[in-house]
Structure 1
């Protein structure tokens, strides 16, 4: 007990001494230096807090100094918040900096767009006072938006009920008045916004849809999503953090789910930074596609870019780039037809154990007792024509067949990355590229000559092996609107010189 009391006394003594100012200072004389003269907080949505930005304040002199005052020019009415050397507030007095040392100032903001007269909101951090005063500018662009929130009841935020079954997904079904998204203001979705049976969500050209963390979009069975982007006004789906540092971070939001027997069309869209870009489910009751997707780019999904589960998908001029697993996964059978598309996975954030493109006809079901049952469904078609399948793994294309269901596929005029150095797939007859009943005019392990894979820029250059190697098709323009009726190139892009 005595030792414990001595220990506590020692801790108390250290705490008291650490708070004591045991060095002399001189007043600041306006000679502070700053890591930047203006702090740009990028763009924020109305009433959504920004990321935290920092400013470093240097004392280059050989003496410790005291800054008499640090404050925001707009005082307590400012929409900015500061933390100076561990203290939070909007005004600080007698802040010390040791000789040849520095302190951090952290800056955040939350702004209500309706309370400011100019969308470019500014303020200053003032250092010192009188003739010695120095300042650093603060600049933020605040953007108003249409916000879609989950409903609340007496017990909290409501969750979605799908097919009469409760889910754990927070969200609600969109009302009839909310079923048209325009380009007038961005849309910010909290939780999962759902489109009910027999309803159609129409998204006009130029619209921007932003999802908060753990949010997304669900098209219920017999519902529809129509994305009507154009070459000049694409529709964008991404997270709600607008700061530049978040522009390429994967997994910021959930997914866009298209449930069985829904009907969906996407044209000229960009889908980025999701967990799963598009999740498309069963379509056993009709020959019509669940999803028709054209001229669309999907980037930086932390899991899958496009995941089909016994789905029917038609794709033209589709580009699916870097993802944590497969760019395109056609699973549990289904019907898949892709023409002039580029599947290029150069993921570098972690180890990736799946190829850029995987196709199978099975699913493993695990019951309550942890018993596994392999279920199969017919792969009615997996047709790839004039496609690039490439990435930074040796194997970027796998056909995985289990007996019990049909397995139909055709691959024509495609570039495929497949270096099976260890003969791991030697017994897989579906990956016999010399089998002319399934493969025609394959360029194996060729050079696509992408412009910049680290930036998801999969435009091809003049050194590409796919130039003039595509077969004629009805897809007469590339994803950028360039004519390809004569000597078309493989993939979503016609080549350029760079």
Structure 2
């Protein structure tokens, strides 16, 4: 009897629930959208992209502010299947969608991407537009899509019949096996980069022995991930930028950076590889900006018959994930050089060499990871697991310079006594605090020795305008103001911005200025 009663009660509960659901079904039937949607944006700007290169993914949020479940009969791109945009609506990919439902007081995401075919371009850059349409007729609502498309010259390794990309041999490992990177050699007709269109490089572009890569003022070069330039023995770089009137646009500067043009990538380090000068290659660089790579410049050895091998003037290197300028037994002359914010060091002069830096600024305020290395490092050796290499530091002079950062000691001088280690600093501002006298017995840090430290200031405020964004112009309160040697300033009479040093010699690459808030 009890079992029968339980069975009856269960049956009655099921019937009651079914009837209740049937009675309420109309409440869950969606009503047609009446054009009362709201959006997180009325226009989605997808920023600048290169033709045939996919953009980042952008999103739009669509809100149902009503108390009803609604259905949007039509959501789609105005140009339909011919559009260069792609959509993902509430998890579904395509260009046209029907009956898209949104719960009461809820919302959905629409994700937007684009890849614009270069074939539709009639000029180097143009604005490509479309719109997302919601419903039609009197209920029609739209959201605009806008993208600036930039045409470019693409350089990349070819594939052979087996689909394997070209490679460049960059050396041998410990067992004699060749080490290769994905790359290719530039042809003779590719050795003059102009400012007519930007260049986009995939893999490493190699400059053959005996050839010169000439880069004209105003040229823009963009590198994909794991890409860069490699200069063979006997090759040369002539990068002939010029001073720009607009310091925001830098219209005459040569700029080398990654191939992601969206604002979110403007200051992201490590987006591409390096500019690698192998032993026997040389360079002359003027008004060049290198940013957001792993190593700004890798100068590997010198020729011995050209002094200097590398002449770097009015050049800026920023946001490198390891080193800004990494030199091994090289010969470098740097003037009005600015290197800022590197994951390891701004400048590492390793395994000796011959160097002269004048009116240069090395400022390291790296904040994206832990850094316990100084902005500037000098040594005369290189130790591997199996061998110790040494080479004389013939000279490393720093005149009218600033070496600063957020570490206590921003210079490191490590030397083997068996090999020459010649350096000097004069009329310069250096960040170096030694509260526990750890370096008191090291002659390399004898700041009273005027043979190696002349007219110096230590740990005084450089008054940088904004070190967080690599703006190292110094203010009127800078300790570097009037610190420079006037006779040296006469040889380099203009700072990196073209300001005169004839009336006052300030240390660093910039003349001091009175900042306006």
TM norm structure 2: 0.89
Residue number among 413, 421, 444 corresponding to 2:458 in the alignment: 444
Count, aligned residues: 473
The answer as to 2:199 corresponding to 1:187 is yes
Matches within 5 A, 1:309-320: 309-320=328-339
What is the CA–CA distance in structure 1 between the aligned matches of 2:68 and 2:342, rounded to whole Å?
52
What is the CA–CA distance in structure 1 between the aligned matches of 2:390 and 2:76, rounded to whole Å?
67
SS at match of 1:318: strand
Runs of 4+, deviation exceeding 6 Å: none
SS at match of 1:141: strand
The answer as to 2:70 corresponding to 1:65 is yes
Residue number among 440, 445, 450 corresponding to 1:426 in the alignment: 440
Residue number among 295, 314, 318 corresponding to 1:299 in the alignment: 318
Residue number among 162, 166, 173 corresponding to 1:158 in the alignment: 166
CA contact (8 A) 1:469 1:487 kept: no
Matches within 5 A, 1:42-57: 42-57=47-62
Show structure 1 runs of 5+ residues with no match: 1-21, 368-372
What is the CA–CA distance in structure 2 between the aligned matches of 1:179 and 1:147, rounded to whole Å?
14
1:214-272 CA distance string (max 9 Å, x none): 10001111100000000020100001111111111111100000111211011001101
CA contact (8 A) 2:301 2:329 kept: yes
Higher Cα radius of gyration: 2
Residue number among 225, 230, 233 corresponding to 1:221 in the alignment: 233
Aligned to 2:261: 242
Per the TM alignment, residue 64 of structure 1 is displaced from its structure 2 partner at its CA by 2.4
CA contact (8 A) 1:255 1:276 kept: yes
What is the CA–CA distance in structure 2 between the aligned matches of 1:87 and 1:143, rounded to whole Å?
29
CA contact (8 A) 1:145 1:186 kept: yes
Residue number among 96, 104, 116 corresponding to 1:99 in the alignment: 104
CA contact (8 A) 1:82 1:106 kept: yes
The answer as to 2:140 corresponding to 1:133 is yes
What is the CA–CA distance in structure 2 between the aligned matches of 1:234 and 1:126, rounded to whole Å?
42
SS at match of 2:295: strand
The answer as to 2:495 corresponding to 1:478 is yes
Aligned to 1:6: none
Per the TM alignment, residue 425 of structure 1 is displaced from its structure 2 partner at its CA by 2.9
Show structure 2 runs of 5+ residues with no match: 1-26, 245-251
Per the TM alignment, residue 455 of structure 1 is displaced from its structure 2 partner at its CA by 0.8
SS at match of 1:114: helix
CA contact (8 A) 1:127 1:135 kept: yes
Closer/same/farther in 2, CA of residues 424 and 84 from structure 1, 3 Å limit:
farther
CA contact (8 A) 2:392 2:420 kept: yes
The answer as to 2:480 corresponding to 1:466 is yes
CA contact (8 A) 1:113 1:143 kept: no
What is the CA–CA distance in structure 2 between the aligned matches of 1:170 and 1:489, rounded to whole Å?
45
What is the CA–CA distance in structure 2 between the aligned matches of 1:325 and 1:229, rounded to whole Å?
28
The answer as to 2:382 corresponding to 1:399 is no
Residue number among 461, 467, 470 corresponding to 1:456 in the alignment: 470
Per the TM alignment, residue 478 of structure 1 is displaced from its structure 2 partner at its CA by 0.1
What is the CA–CA distance in structure 1 between the aligned matches of 2:338 and 2:28, rounded to whole Å?
62
Matches within 5 A, 1:335-374: 335-367=354-386, 373-374=387-388
The answer as to 2:184 corresponding to 1:175 is no
